[in-house]
Amino acid sequence: MSKSNYQSYLENMQKYADVEYSIAVLSWDKEVNLPSKGAAARSRQVATLSGIAHEIFTNKAFGATLQSLANNGSDLDEREKRNIELTHKDFERINKFDTDFVMRRSKLISTTFHAWLEAREKNDFSIYEKPLTELMDLKIEEAEIIGYKAHPYNALLEEFEPGATVADLDVLFKDVRNQLVDFASKIRSKSEIDNSFLRKKYAKDKQWEFGIEILKNIGYDFEAGRQDISTHPFTTNFSATDVRVTTRIDENDFGNMTWSCIHEGGHALYEQGLPHADYGLPTGKYVSLGIHESQSRLWENNVGRSLPFWKAHYPKLQKAFPENLSTVSLETFYKGINKIAPNLIRTESDELHYHFHVLIRYEIEKGLIEKSIKVKDLPEVWNAKYKEYLGVEVPNDKEGVLQDIHWSHGSIGYFPTYSLGSFYAAQFFAQAKKDIPDIITQIENGDSSNLLKWLRDKIHQHGRFYDANDLCKKVTGEKLNFKYFMDYVNEKYKDIYQL
């Protein structure tokens, strides 16, 4: 009986996935190809499909099947039992929302996204203020519907990083602030590194070609994906065999394209490594956004900003841009791409100050949800925090509060996962170096295939079978430990800055 019910469960989950991934296709197209006049119709289409998906997943008969499998699933194997456990948890959460709320949320997110695009283009926050206010009110309503202990933000964190709480994150960011502030300050007291060669003119087409080559080198499968241009780089998937990335190119900033390619490539490698046979099931999906971000940050920073990586790739880059780099040594290039200096833009930040960018967003999100900060005051609050934490003056909305896409998507609770990802990445990479003793030599020779195999075996193949904490313990033998990140940056920057 359980096996028959499990087959019914599987069919419903895959039907739900079909609709969800159809929404993802339309959302990808919205950010890559959609003409401006198509926005209203696209909002309607996505809202309709969101309602259909919600009805499929919250169907009472499906709930009864889940309950039966939860109570009488002794003949299921371990992976099947875990799928039922996780789906039942998701079912209880999503069933708290009626179809009207889901469609209302979908429409408002689409409206807010397009307002963000226009506001960003016109450098005018006021265009964004009203829809964002309405969306924040809806997210507060969402937190109340879900229910929470201690803080409403906890309810929204659960969507992105299950188990994370304000109490835990407050302690983490306090530790980050206490340890990184002094370290970054010590670096800033040293002679400034010249990386002006990164801001010469780099032709768009040549940058694109180099980015494609880097993606191929780290293992991104172009037969199961593609790259396009978008306002904000992102990764989306419709299955493990169709995972797409985007980048953006600034002809006067080589780093903009390069590390967005590697970063999004890391996300995509994770998605392409998930078990396709588990399509639509929890074991075919990523663990948490913190773990997802660990994959992108590992490739972007631990590999992509390392000296061994560029020993392999820098000659090809010099050949592509001889007018800019022929007289720039590998050592100068390596120091340049790891320059530490406060800046305005999170996605262009160095890997130390990056966490102050995340801290600012975390504090603002908490304030919005607990109503201690109002949307209309966001530019003022944002600018004040950038002055306080990074010592920089924000010149305009586009380079300030309008720089990120996340709030326009209603993704409140997302930003802390960026810092968590960096810390997981350092811990995972430290373990990979233990398990593959010559991995650095392999990377120097342009071969990161064994690192990818290690990630596939240790992390990707499990999907959501383990939660983030258990996965970290399984891979490294201990829970997340900030010490690994500090060890990594201390070892790296003591040589670069002669600390």
For 327, residues 6+ apart whose C-beta sits below 8 A from its C-beta are none
- Three-class DSSP category at 379: helix
With tokens 């975390």, the residue in question is: 362
Q: Say if residues 350 and 340 touch (Cβ distance below 8 Å).
A: yes
Buried b (16+ CB within 10 A) or exposed e, 202-220: beeeebbebbeebbebbbb
Instruction: Report the catalytic residues.
Output: 264
Asked if residue 286 lies in contact with residue 257, where contact means CB atoms within 8 angstroms, the answer is: no
Q: Are 5 and 80 in contact (CB under 8 A)?
A: no
- CA angle 357/384/340 to nearest 5° reads 40
Q: Is 191 exposed, middle or buried (0-12, 13-18, 19+ CB in 10 A)?
A: exposed
Bridge partner residues of 246 (DSSP): 228
Strands 227-229 vs 235-239: parallel, antiparallel or unpaired? unpaired
State phi, psi for 161 to the nearest 5 degrees.
-140, 80
Taking the C-alpha atoms of residue 187 and residue 194, their distance in angstroms, rounded to an integer, is 14
Whether the CB-CB separation of 432 and 439 falls below 8 Å is answered with: yes
